Structure 1
Amino acid sequence: MAVTELAAPSVPPTPGTKKGPAASLMVLALRKVGTLLITLFFASLIVFFSRFVLPGDPARFLLRGRSPKPEALVEITKQFGLDRPPIEQYLTWVGGILHGDWGRSLTYRQSVSDVLLNRLPVTLELAVLAAVFITVLGLVAGILASLNKGGWDRFILITVTAAGAIPPFVAAIALTALFAVQLGWFPSFGSGDEGLGRLWHLTLPALALGLTFIAFMARVTRSSMNEQLSREHVEVATSRGLKRSSVVFRHVLRNALGPILTVSGVLIAGLLVSSAIVEQTFGLAGIGQLLVQSIDRLDFAVVQAIVMIVVTAFVLANTIVDLIQPLIDPRIAAGTESR
Structure 2
Amino acid sequence: MTRFLLGRLAMLVTTLAVASVTIYGAMFLTSGDPATLLVGGGKPPAPAVVAAIHKQYHLDDPFFSRYWRWLTGALHGDFGMSLAYRADVSTLISTRIGDTLLLVGYSAVLIIVIGIVVGTVSALRGGLVDAVATGVSAAAMAVPTFVVGAVLAFVFGVKLGWFDASGDGGGGFGALIPSFTLPAIALALSWVGYVAQVTRAAVGAELRSEHVVTAEARGLPRPGLIRRHVMRNAAGPIFAISGVAVAGLIATTSVVEQTFGISGIGSLLIEASAKQDLATVQAVSLLMVAAFIVLNTVIDLVTAMLDPRIATGRTL
Whether 1:180 and 2:150 are equivalent positions in the alignment is: no
Whether 1:99 and 2:58 are equivalent positions in the alignment is: no
Given candidates 83, 87, 90, the residue that maps to 2:64 is 87
> Normalising by structure 2, what TM-score?
0.92
Residue in 2 that maps onto 1:128: 105
Secondary structure of 2:95 counterpart:
helix
Deviates more, 1:234-243 or 1:152-161: 234-243
For the 8 Å contact 2:40–2:277, the answer to whether it is kept is no
For the 8 Å contact 1:56–1:298, the answer to whether it is kept is no
Whether 1:230 and 2:230 are equivalent positions in the alignment is: no
Deviations 1:75-103 (A, max 9, x none): 23322333333222101011112222122
* Per-residue deviation, 1:279: 0.4
Whether 1:154 and 2:131 are equivalent positions in the alignment is: yes
Given candidates 289, 296, 300, the residue that maps to 2:267 is 289
Cα distance in 1 between the residues matched to 2:291 and 2:264: 16
Q: How many residues align?
A: 312
Cα distance in 2 between the residues matched to 1:141 and 1:106: 48
Given candidates 77, 81, 92, the residue that maps to 2:54 is 77
Change (3 A) 1:117 1:241: same
Deviates more, 1:88-97 or 1:254-263: 254-263
Cα distance in 2 between the residues matched to 1:53 and 1:290: 23
Q: Tell me the C-alpha RMSD between the 2 structures.
A: 2.0
Cα distance in 1 between the residues matched to 2:148 and 2:40: 39
Secondary structure of 1:187 counterpart:
coil
Residue in 2 that maps onto 1:216: 194
Secondary structure of 2:163 counterpart:
coil
Residue in 1 that maps onto 2:299: 321
* Per-residue deviation, 1:330: 5.2
Residue in 1 that maps onto 2:14: 38
Cα distance in 2 between the residues matched to 1:56 and 1:111: 25
Secondary structure of 2:81 counterpart:
coil
**One-letter code of the match for 1:120?**
I
Residue in 2 that maps onto 1:205: 183
Structure 1 unaligned blocks of 5 or more: 1-23
Given candidates 113, 121, 124, the residue that maps to 2:90 is 113
Given candidates 145, 166, 173, the residue that maps to 2:122 is 145
Question: Identity percentage over the alignment?
Answer: 40
Cα distance in 2 between the residues matched to 1:130 and 1:176: 16
Task: Specify the structure having the higher radius of gyration (Cα).
Answer: 1
For the 8 Å contact 1:268–1:314, the answer to whether it is kept is no
Deviates more, 1:264-273 or 1:61-70: 61-70
Q: Give the ranges of 4+ consecutive aligned residues of structure 1 lying more than 6 Å apart after TM superposition.
A: none
**Structure ranking higher in helix proportion:** 2
Cα distance in 1 between the residues matched to 2:218 and 2:195: 31
Change (3 A) 1:44 1:236: same
Structure 2 unaligned blocks of 5 or more: none
> Normalising by structure 1, what TM-score?
0.86
